[in-house]
Amino acid sequence: MSKDNYIPIFQVDAFADSSFKGNPAAVCVIDKPLDDITMQNIAMEMNLTETAFAIPAHKSGILNADRFAIRWFTPTCETSLCGHATLAAAKVLFEIFENKSETLVFHSQRGEIFVTRRGQFLQLDFLAVRPEPTQLSEYMADALRLDIDGLRSDFMDASHDSQAKLILLRFKDVSTIKAVTPDFFELFHVQQALGYEETIITARDYGDYDFISRSFAPILGIDEDPVSGEAHTILAPYWSALLNKKNLVAYQASKRGGEILIEVREDPKRYRDRVILSGKAVIVMEGIINIESNLNES
């Protein structure tokens, strides 16, 4: 059996300072591309919110490369952007492969993502998503069970970005968003019909954090995302404008939970505002995955 049929694979808890928290991702760092079917099968086998595949963008090798192509797969499909799995990939490159770069550049369908070492933290640099006002449709309200759970009166406003396929719903209280119990089967069909990949609910926090959020993406095979970096590319500019603050501390209130430090850097010309997300990550598992049977089939 050829050694080419074995790929190192790692499981990383991103946006976490200890194991079993934050958002788990699988990471494969490879020196040559895999076909789409193999990557999708690996992601399905790992059955985590995302599996990242990173490959050096030039011939200097994994150790010395500072640029990588990256793709992300959920158990059911490929996604165009994933923050926590990018953080996980950088953690593996820095810690396991001992990459010497201070900043890694990941090339994706949605542009470049920069990840920089800052002590114990890793900083992800994303293009900001500027939310525009929209309406809460009755279909979305029903899928979130707002009337059934008596939460409709706590809804405040809605924003979205159709290109990023994100919708953001703000509520009065943190207790309200913690009480939301979506009908994920119905939400899947609503997201499909309205063209959204993530439905984000959020509220201001008056304790340790500036805001709290939850994120749902059943259309991507992820009922509730434990900690979503992509969601914070729209949450950050939204709350920055609302609170008139450039530096924010956020918490995603999933069952696992995760803390994110945020900096919003505005472009004076308003073309390329950036969102800087800082978090920790913990490598919890490493192993080898055998892809021989899939290669024979393809």
CA 268, CA 257: separation in Å to the nearest integer?
34
Nearest CA to 111 out of 269, 261, 248, 274 is that of 274
- 50 is known as an active-site residue: yes
What is the spatial distance between Cα 48 and Cα 199, in angstroms, rounded to a whole number? 19
DSSP string, 6-24: EEEEEEEEES-SSTT-SEE
Q: List Cα–Cα distances, 103 to 106, 115, 122, 123, 250, in angstroms.
A: 10, 5, 10, 9, 24
Q: Alpha-carbon distance 106 to 277, whole Å?
A: 15
| Catalytic residue of the set 50, 197, 224, 230 | 50
- For the chain, give the number of residues: 298
The answer to whether 147 and 139 have CB atoms below 8 angstroms apart is: no
Cα–Cα distance for residue pair 253/292, rounded to 1 Å: 40
The Cα–Cα gap between 146 and 129 comes to 26
Structure tokens at 64: 């010395």
Catalytic residues: 50
